[in-house]
Amino acid sequence: MNADLLVDLDQYRANLAALRAYAPDALQMAVVKANAYGHGMVPMARAARQGGADWLGVATPAEALELRAAGDRGPLLCWLAVPGAPFAELVAADVEVTASGVDQLQAIAAAGDRPRVQLKVDTGLSRNGAFGPQWDELVAAAARLQEAGSIEVSGIWSHFASADDPDNPSNDHQESVFRAAVDQLASAGVDPGVRHLANSAAAVTRPSSHFDLVRMGIASYGIDPDPAVHVPEVRPVLTARTVLANVKRVPAGASVSYGWRWTADRETTLGLVPVGYGEGIHRTASNRAEVGFDGKRAPVRGTICMDQLVVDLGDRPARIGDPVTVFGPGDDGEPTAQDWADAAGTIAYEIVTRLAGRWSRTYRGER
Ligand SMILES: Cc1ncc(COP(=O)(O)O)c(C=O)c1O
């Protein structure tokens, strides 16, 4: 093992089960886009189905088709298509696609025999979805195409801008815009189908936003959506682990890594950890992050490199090959993804999702 991501599928299923209690009357969608936030899309998708997730959600058509190619057959939504997207293939594979505008809706309608399609309304995030008059046009087009037997509207949905800040007034605003959009669709004679708005943070803090389905991403991986939105029932699923590739004793005055951005003020033991920004380790955490070593933390010293980083082990006994936990659940003194996020000046989502490059993945609890 050079560097390995240990992914605990039992914990993932347990997290999904625990999260169900927050929205017992809603369907649960497990969001597995972006390689399941770095955890590995196909094994996580399989575990999500085993854990009782009613739906899977991904961003891109390629992700949806990869799941189908891997044998996934359950309800699956994708939501980020560009012109030329393989709608015919998606429809034939029974993937529900999202229309964010009239042109897209027409392209979807032409892609199969009465395809099921969900409509996305932009309630204020100003990202994807139809906004204002575009939404009026999308509703009219959906009514026309459904009446003509060219599509079946199967859902309506939107996404919060600040669900991780539960008291932010934008949440009330977006929810009321969403309710009005649902009513507008129904008034146009279109059954809205499955209505959904909540991500993890909204699912745990805002029952009024649950509607028919909640989309669970970050919390299902056992990571709080934000330090201010703590979800005590879940635990991190992923442990990033490796071993020391080198160990050396250096005198006071020894400087470390590119740019000599750290210099030892006493004799100490340095450990070489064989992961770097090639593995998605944030370089901005240079001289700030810590790793877990022998039940305690050890600080990262100097600049994080492409393939490696250096940690300060002080006077602790250390040998080449000793285990290092870059981050994990925090049970054995190691930092968490949130600790790395704080050190790197980002969010924990990015710490796990960026994991890339030369990590292997080991799944515990595979069925
Ligand atoms: C449309 C959509 N829904 C749900 C999610 C899941 O969000 P979270 O990881 O905060 O639960 C995402 C992820 O960003 C998303 O883009």
pLDDT in tens, the chain (367 residues): 789 999 999 999 999 999 999 999 999 999 999 999 999 999 999 999 999 999 999 999 999 999 999 999 999 999 999 999 999 999 999 999 999 999 999 999 999 999 999 999 999 999 999 999 999 999 999 999 999 999 999 999 999 999 999 999 999 999 999 999 999 999 999 999 999 999 999 999 999 999 999 999 999 999 999 999 999 999 999 999 999 999 999 999 999 999 999 999 999 999 999 999 999 999 999 999 999 999 999 999 999 999 999 999 999 999 999 999 999 999 999 999 999 999 999 999 999 999 998 999 999 999 9
pLDDT of res. 264:
98
Phi and psi (nearest 5°) for 277? -70, -15
Q: How far apart are CA 61 and CA 80, in angstroms?
A: 7
Strand 152-157 and strand 194-198: pairing? parallel
pLDDT of res. 302:
98
The answer, yes or no, to whether any atom of ligand 1 lies below 6 A from the CB of 116, is no
Burial label, 9 (beta-carbon count in 10 A; 0-12, 13-18, 19+): buried
Say which residues have a Cβ less than 8 Å from residue 10's Cβ, sequence separation at least 6: 364, 365
Q: How far apart are CA 51 and CA 23, in angstroms?
A: 15
Question: Is 33 a residue of the active site?
Answer: yes
Q: Which residue type, as a one-letter code, is found at position 354?
A: R
Q: What are the residue ranges spanned by the domains of the chain? A: 9-221, 238-364
- Of 127, 128, 97, residue with least CA distance to 110: 97
pLDDT of res. 215:
98
pLDDT of res. 171:
98
pLDDT of res. 358:
95
Same fold, 9-221 and 238-364: no
Ligand 1 binding pocket mutation candidate from 199, 218, 220 (most atoms within 8 A of CB): 199
Phi and psi (nearest 5°) for 141? -65, -40
pLDDT of res. 58:
98
Question: Is 12 a residue of the active site?
Answer: no
Ligand 1 binding pocket mutation candidate from 16, 159, 209 (most atoms within 8 A of CB): 159
The answer, yes or no, to whether any atom of ligand 1 lies below 6 A from the CB of 217, is yes
Active-site pick, 33, 37, 120, 349: 33
Burial label, 239 (beta-carbon count in 10 A; 0-12, 13-18, 19+): buried
Q: How far apart are CA 29 and CA 278, in angstroms?
A: 31
pLDDT of res. 218:
98
Q: How far apart are CA 51 and CA 45, in angstroms?
A: 10
Ligand 1 centroid from CA 349, angstroms: 10
Binding residues, by number, are 127, 306
Which CATH number applies to 9-221: 3.20.20.10, 3.40.980.10, 1.10.645.10, 3.90.660.10?
3.20.20.10
What is the CATH architecture of 238-364?
Beta Barrel (2.40)
